[in-house]
Amino acid sequence: MKKRFRFGNPLETDAVQEKPPLREGEIPFLTQEGKELHYALSPSDIVYGLGENVRGINKRGWIYVSDCSDDPNHTEEKHSLYGAHNFILVSGREQFGVFVDTPGKVTFDIGYTSYSSLRISVEEGEYELYVIEGGSPDEIVSEFRGLIGRSYIPPKWAFGYGQCRWSYLTADEVREVAKGYRENGIPLDMIYLDIDYMERYKDFTIDRGSFPDFEELVQEMKAQGIRLIPIIDGGVKAEEGYDVYEEGMEKGFFCKDEDGREFVVGVWPGKCCLPDMLNEEAGRWFGDKYKFLTDKGIEGFWNDMNEPAIFYSEKRLRDVFEKIEDYRQQENLDINSFFAFKGMVAGLSNHPEDYKSFYHKYRGQRVRHDRVHNLFGYYMTRSAGEALERLSPDRRMLLFSRASYIGMHRYGGIWMGDNQSWWSHILMNLKMLPSLNMCGFLYTGADLGGFGSDATEDLLLRWLALGIFTPLMRNHSAMGTRRQEAYAFEEKESFRGLIRLRYRLLPYLYSEFMKAALGNTMYARPLGFVWGGDEIARHVEDQLMIGESIMIAPVYEQNAIGRTVYLPEEMKMVKFAGEAVCEEKILSKGHHFVEVGLKEAVVFVRKGRLLPLAAAGKNVEDTDWGKLELVHFGVPGDSYELYEDDGFSREMCLEGHVREINL
């Protein structure tokens, strides 16, 4: 049961595709208190949702603000990351979902101010509200996902393993990476290109100094079964003679300041203009630019800096320099002035006032950016997705984004942003998965090994042992950090084993992903979704169901020799030493300590369920699922529904693609 309410005259977001009729009168579950919506939480209530955010699967005990933010420090006190995912699901005394549809800022105070109080407030005051009733969390999620439309599905090869770095600086460095993987027998499907493949960071250019033979490189890699996936940034360099800039200026496609002049911001290329992604025409124009790369054989992209990230605005930088001059003149800088000075410089980036200083043309209206801030990355990716469908009508393309809003899930996936090589981020990676699934984002994963800071061998191994279960499986690291390609450490055999295991899991992972995407269900579920009557299961924050057959419980603590796992029912533990099963054991309901070595991965198979395994190849295409090995906790007759398709067609449905395999 879905109910829709409207407050004020909100801007359309296109998040919802199937709108139920508007209702008036009382809102179920929630009460309006002034400008806030309120719900009294009972002690056992869990609040799920909010997609990409810090903290638990259960979001209770913090304030979350939907406000797409470029912040690479994902520490516990943060209120916002890159996405704005305004869906929550209350499960306990009552069960219901709430979606707040508005392109501006929304605050969810989930038991922060008072542990027993959920309060939602919308800065704009204008929004559509969806309240979804249902018997179970799964049902509520499916209802909601039905509203917002089918999740993005990438080509099958995008379920392979990818390697990224900011940056592989030359074509030869890319060749080195491919060689490193191939020589060490470690599968690889993608090498990602970060900003340095471009000529001075200009979108839709190639640095011919360092990538002189880009087109050949693309083909050479393809011949090795590896696709190159370039990055596209949200800002366009303001440089005379640069065609994208000149065209955008001519057509008036960039965001403007109050006086109607192009708003200039500093991003990677230096001074930039922001394409007005929300303007349909401008978006179409920007999307069509991807052809520059698809013409060169590129089949996938990642969209970055599209919160949009603003290192500085031209105007603010000028003001700050002037203010600094004042400070400089002061004979004696007192300590408050010193901190004001430091704070002012640190605060140059992503300044709230800058987001209030430029305008979009959105559906015919001039709209100040802050009112639609959370749509920028969404519409950039939507423009790209729609263009890629025009450019490649018969074959799916890979596309994912950093910033997002619900609705964007139809056009692309997301990665979980610029995380760090922290052990705690393995667990955060795990927790975000189901939260994102609820909000429609299925093709997702974290930068394995961590983007910022230095990784260690054991950290990357443990992270991979989780990453083999995330649809997007990418290793990525930042400039200046330790190299963390899977062949960069000593125990190459361990890396080979875990990554090959990913490829063995493909029939299962792809089937479960496709069933979730096509059936509006969850790919990764909190235990509370499955065992809602089990209070211990409901509060487990470090295990997940992946698809219907298996539960995972990764190790995320440095130097641990294993971990405690909670089994809400009897299950079969299956331990892999690399790609091969090394131990199977039936474990009773309850807590168990399970030893897990650095080269190992463990799954827990539910009774009556099967886990089909392929023979790993050097990439997805090379992986043979003609003859599947069936790991299982079943009896003859038990079955599994395997989804199979060509892996690239845009026409996808469950009908005709699901085949029952039996024990």
Q: Is 348 in the site for a second copy (CB under 8 A)?
A: yes
Cα(428)–Cα(462) distance, integer angstroms: 13
Phi, psi of 127 (to 5 degrees): -165, 165
Answer for which of 1, 22, 40, 333 binds a second copy (CB under 8 A) is 333
Q: Taking CB under 8 A as the criterion, which residues in 441-460 touch a second copy? A: 452-454, 456-459
Part in contact with a second copy (CB under 8 A); list of ranges 68-76, 397-405, 469-477, 543-551: 68-76
Cα(648)–Cα(620) distance, integer angstroms: 12
Answer for which of 342, 366, 483, 650 binds a second copy (CB under 8 A) is 342
Residues 343 and 387: beta-carbon distance below 8 Å:
no
Q: Taking CB under 8 A as the criterion, which residues in 87-126 touch a second copy? A: 111-112, 114-115
3-state SS class at 483: coil
Site string for a second copy, 159-188 (x = CB under 8 A): ------------------------------
Helix 457-467 to helix 424-438 angle (10° resolution) is 20
Give the total residue count for the chain.
Answer: 663
Q: Is 560 in the site for a second copy (CB under 8 A)?
A: yes
CB of 178 to a second copy, least distance (A): 26
150 or 323, CB closer to a second copy? 323
Q: Is 319 in the site for a second copy (CB under 8 A)?
A: no
Joined together, the tokens standing for residue 658 give 């699901």
Answer for which of 62, 96, 161, 362 binds a second copy (CB under 8 A) is 62
CB of 110 to a second copy, least distance (A): 10
Cα angle: 559, vertex 560, 565; to 5 degrees? 160
- CA gyration radius for the chain? 25
Cα(579)–Cα(575) distance, integer angstroms: 10
Q: Is 557 in the site for a second copy (CB under 8 A)?
A: yes
Part in contact with a second copy (CB under 8 A); list of ranges 155-163, 204-212, 266-274, 635-643: 266-274
CB of 345 to a second copy, least distance (A): 4
Q: Which of 390, 557, 473 is nearest to 158 (CA)?
A: 473
Q: Residue 255, CB half-sphere, CA atoms under 13 Å: how many?
A: 31
- Contacts (Cβ under 8 Å, ≥6 apart) of 25: none
Q: Taking CB under 8 A as the criterion, which residues in 216-255 touch a second copy? A: none
- Contacts (Cβ under 8 Å, ≥6 apart) of 595: 561, 562
CB of 339 to a second copy, least distance (A): 8
Part in contact with a second copy (CB under 8 A); list of ranges 252-260, 292-300, 386-394, 414-422: 414-422
28 or 562, CB closer to a second copy? 562
Q: Which of 42, 51, 162 is nearest to 442 (CA)?
A: 51
Cα(244)–Cα(161) distance, integer angstroms: 33
Joined together, the tokens standing for residue 121 give 């407030």
Answer for which of 8, 22, 247, 321 binds a second copy (CB under 8 A) is 321
- Contacts (Cβ under 8 Å, ≥6 apart) of 660: 639, 640, 641, 642
187 or 266, CB closer to a second copy? 266
Q: Is 315 in the site for a second copy (CB under 8 A)?
A: no
Q: Which of 580, 528, 578, 523 is nearest to 550 (CA)?
A: 523
Q: Checking phi first, is residue 432 left (phi over 0); if not, alpha (psi -120 to 50) or beta?
A: alpha
CB of 205 to a second copy, least distance (A): 16
Cα(662)–Cα(640) distance, integer angstroms: 6
CB of 375 to a second copy, least distance (A): 26
Q: Taking CB under 8 A as the criterion, which residues in 272-311 touch a second copy? A: 311
User: Which of the 8 DSSP states describes residue 72?
Assistant: -
H/E stretch holding 514? helix 492-519
75 or 365, CB closer to a second copy? 75
Provide DSSP, 69-101: -------TT----SEE--EEEEESSSEEEEEEE
Q: How many residues bind to a second copy according to rule CB under 8 A? A: 71
333 or 580, CB closer to a second copy? 333
CB of 332 to a second copy, least distance (A): 7
CB of 524 to a second copy, least distance (A): 19
9 or 332, CB closer to a second copy? 332
Part in contact with a second copy (CB under 8 A); list of ranges 122-130, 169-177, 255-263, 555-563: 555-563
317 or 615, CB closer to a second copy? 317
76 or 250, CB closer to a second copy? 76
Q: Taking CB under 8 A as the criterion, which residues in 519-538 touch a second copy? A: 535-536
Q: Taking CB under 8 A as the criterion, which residues in 458-497 touch a second copy? A: 458-459, 490
184 or 456, CB closer to a second copy? 456
Phi, psi of 233 (to 5 degrees): -95, 160
User: Which of the 8 DSSP states describes residue 181?
Assistant: H
CB of 650 to a second copy, least distance (A): 38
3-state SS class at 150: coil
Answer for which of 421, 429, 470, 549 binds a second copy (CB under 8 A) is 421
